[in-house]
Chains A and B, each alone.
Chain A
């Protein structure tokens, strides 16, 4: 079986016009424009198997969305090859477009002034979905997302969460084999985020469709994706199992203790790097190899009520990866 998505040496550079601040800068830019090249995506390669659910993570402006746009045919790559389901997305062939879908958290395809059901019916025609298949898929999605009651309400009167659900229905009616989700949970409250995640997980399990998800929320990625691709400043810096990130980048673990009596903070420095101490709780960052020694030391020489050894939270690892620690 050939992979659903193959990306090799993808580059997308943008020419950006730089303007000095203020009116003077605007006038100056009338006569002389300075352009700067930004490397939104800089030589990225990866491939994704059919049915995989992969998370793209990276800070704002890292190049996640640009990559998705190249994969869905919105952007013309500066160089490199992209193949999705065996086609070049940029060709915009109808047979290809009928098999993919892109959901953007900040852009809607629903007709703002009309009820969502109108967009669904329009999509039925656009994707040339047979009537019976349309009915079946619609009922299934409406049930899964619990949107039965809001289909006939004008879209602009819906809440953001309701709208996103309807966006998903619209995007999935034609049963895409490849689904790109760009920040699908952005702006949603915690309950709606959770529901959205549950749905995506369930959908991937049931339909075996290939899904790429970008998100700022680590919870999305932690819950949904086994494999993650981390992009920063246009470069791919990690591609692998979520669990490997911690092993690869966190060279220490966290020991947290609850003391039963006050201790001298100065003495604690000997155990390891003190991350925080306010009686009765203290946390230490300790090198992987030295964890058991440090824990034994604590237990033997200090009044301990409770002690825990934990991995560094994935959020922290990724933050460290992004904030300059050279990881290459």
Chain B
């Protein structure tokens, strides 16, 4: 085992190295003085290698990537260090030279494909433009090149896509356009900044496959920035774990994910719910505290204040980067102890004794809920007969039992949020019955009695929009108590303090305004507010989707804890299957406004599955490089809810489509057991056999996945 402190001359360029970064420090000039947001980073990327940069938000991943290509905002600069691209020092090049490198030798793929494509130019033109500028091609040649690239990224019907505009393409298609235009010049390095974060999990899986295939073909190197450990495990050859502007651990994917020689890596991995884990078995680990701000860095190890392995020496001086094995670096002083005794800082999630119950009183029942939105068709409505309707929710029935969590999963646009809003009354259901504790609720919010209102509360997705910025967070929690309860002023104050304690917020937060809180804290306040009226059922609409993994884990633990102590039922809506699996007792899989599979969480995640569930499951990125998943990919995106396909709604994308019957007849419910039902034409035994054996017919998906 080599064990030495890395010095500059140790890093030598060999032929294979495409990018070599040495001691890079990025400084931002702020009003408070210069701030080093990225400090002393050294890394090497070889040809054909996918290098993952992973870390929570604010860890400096994007800043580092932008510094490498010298594309920093006006007040940012690289204050020291070198960046060698195939031996050329990029930091010394004049800006005019850099402009030639951008787009030719280094290209970028951004997070939000909708914003990265010019909406007023045909997409083909935007790809061709790169070829004209950087490859000096003629118009006709560039056009040919663009078609070639679109074919390479498996775009169906590239010639017609050439003429389309951004708004005519789905997010997944746009991301392919961006990848195509990033690859036109056959660059040495592509920087991908969260390229799939804005996409659905099914689309993400397809794009990740595509990137993987293209890399092998072109031998291009990639810096892949993401916060998703599962994506890193699936995509990358090597990974750097960033924290507060420094690399904490770096190595091959197996070195980092298996040996985990830095507590931060272990902490991050412990936060992610495993697909097989449920709240009754384990509680998630979480990392206490916050990423330090760049102007308030601790003197010693920057992770020390949040680390449970911290000792005096950790606080005294910044630990140096140590090479634990060949190519495996860690910035932890105690890595040797960690290696020998992994149990010191374990990322294993603590086992817990959860209550095992099946039955409970029926709390909420929704029968045949439908929600149609009528859309004005503009001029065409003049000659078209009948209103055009978006059938967002088309006949959904569920039952939620007291103290249980019903998880609702599906891709975006499948109607899960609209369904939840119909239950809460924020949207008025077009038809159907909502029955709460045996009492039929009016479909409109305005007709519901205060006593009915207080029983259904909601936690929303966006923590920034869910609190009134002008009210102190204490007021936000106080108001429902004043409104719904018959409590004296003193009792109200006491309850507010109790609620703040229940969501683990210190009491002095009561007088703060929302902008003084972090995203996770705001969401805690929103949870406290929802619990203030002691609801029977709480609807959680993607409450953790916009938060960092460590905050997600803490919030999920909190939700479980509150459910156990208060006996509240949850309707938990998410596209994150692992989170749904962890929190839910029951799961309903929704596609195009209807449920296709429903059952206890364990059953739904075990074969036989509905083919849609199967596809969702196989798309989940799992943070373990050794896990081999079935590869089932869905074609295209969810069809429009205006023209719902006849027969089985899923037949247009189903990888296991039987044939005519799926296109013509609506499938019927088949019952696997008392609690688990699937709505599909394929016989259960056949499904079980297919899925157990893992044989997947993909011949029906021309052009999508090879």
Query: A and B from one assembly?
Result: no
Residues of A within 8 A of B (CB): none
Residues of B within 8 A of A (CB): none
